[in-house]
Amino acid sequence: MHNKKVYLALLTVVTIAFAIISFNRGMRADVKGDYYIYWETGKAFLAGNKLYTPGLIDGGFTYPPFAALFFSLFSLVPFHVSAFLFTFFVNYGLWISSFVLVHKIMQQYYPGQHFKWPLGLAIALSACFYWHNFIWMNSNLPVLCLTLLGVLYYKRKQYGWSYVFFMAGTFFKITPVLFLVFAAIKRGPKHWPQIALTALPFIVIPALLRGVHTGITDWKDYYEAFVAPFSKGQIDENIISLGIPALLNKMNTGNMAVGIKPLFHLNSVTLKHFILVFQIISILLLTLKVAYDRYVRKNEELSLADISLIYMITLLLPGRVWAHHHVCTGFIYTYLCFILLKERQTALLVIICVLGMLTNLITKNVIGQTLTDILKHYSFVTLLMIFVSGVILFYEDKRNVLVEHKR
């Protein structure tokens, strides 16, 4: 009881602090920032105007029409008021909610266990990513919470609700479709019609509100503005870009400003083909693992390692990945820290914590401009995510070996 009072008092103080920060941030929101695009798109949705601008390299709305419907709720009030409400209720409120959901998921998988240390470490290790999302007013937390709800209901065997939440995440931002694909593999063909039908409300409702013709045009424009360029291998060419495609691209171009020469000397077409092959092989390998677990090991559950690796795919393989996309590391680090504590791998846990905390320090004010540029050029965060993926795979394989040995 005493601990609960302490936690409640701490949460109250943090909430008040974030309410003040959110108000200041909202009142000073930049009309050239991402949130202005969301707010403006919400107004366009309600007015029946065009949502997308195909051909823009950056600066346009890049989410499906269902996301525009969501943002239309915030467009009903003036921009700066809307920015405050979004920053506080979505980017702060859902940050707290995401860890509540992570805790509930961990309890479902490991009943009776305590997660104070794993959760505390995960909050610290993922802090910079949540802060990026908060301060830049991005919209990754609705997607994270929807997928976490999907995972929670899947574990509870309430599959219908699980598909609804995964589908909502998919129609907010396309990457959660991977959860549906792997859930479909785990559940088998008998569930495929149900999964497919779950998509209808997220297609039909925006179209009915906008008009059928406009609704169809929205999807065409969305494809041309976002899906087509990145399906053809487009990569965000920026020193702060993350993910394996961006890392390989930076290795191919170098950065003479900090004295880094190109490691590769591939032409753009060859590099795109190499990245595409790597992406296909990576997804195929995880698909084979999930299928093997389902049809050979007869395991219909999505393991915590599976879920972590699905999140990792969204961080490592797309051509557009930024720091604020890494809010899902709150889940990944909770699971990883729990496993390492359970396995008594203190040294490895310390190494991961040191490397993870370093991601919170990659700013010129802390480590200087040159070192910051070097770590960003080599996509330090991406290299860490690759390392974390390897650790998760190792302990997942170890767990499977032990399970098969007991049989």
For the stretch 290-313, pLDDT in tens is: 999 999 988 889 999 999 999 999
Distance, CA of 385 to CA of 36 (rounded, Å): 31
Indicate the helix (H) or strand (E) that contains 187: helix 177-187
Distance, CA of 289 to CA of 351 (rounded, Å): 28
Q: Higher-confidence residue: 4 or 111?
A: 111
Q: Which of 281-284's residues contact partners 24+ apart within 8 Å by CB, and which partners?
A: 282/313, 282/316, 282/317, 283/313, 283/317
Percentages (nearest 5) of helix, strand, coil residues in the chain:
75, 0, 25
Distance, CA of 269 to CA of 168 (rounded, Å): 35
152 pLDDT higher than 90: yes
pLDDT in tens, 2-32: 678 888 899 999 999 999 999 999 999 988 8
Mean pLDDT over residues 268-276, rounded?
91
Distance, CA of 188 to CA of 4 (rounded, Å): 43
Distance, CA of 133 to CA of 212 (rounded, Å): 34
pLDDT of residue 234: 78
pLDDT band per the 50, 70, 90 thresholds, residue 33: confident
pLDDT in tens, 331-351: 999 999 999 999 999 999 999
User: For residue 148, what are its two tokens?
Assistant: 């976490």
pLDDT in tens, 224-236: 888 887 767 678 7
1 pLDDT higher than 60: no
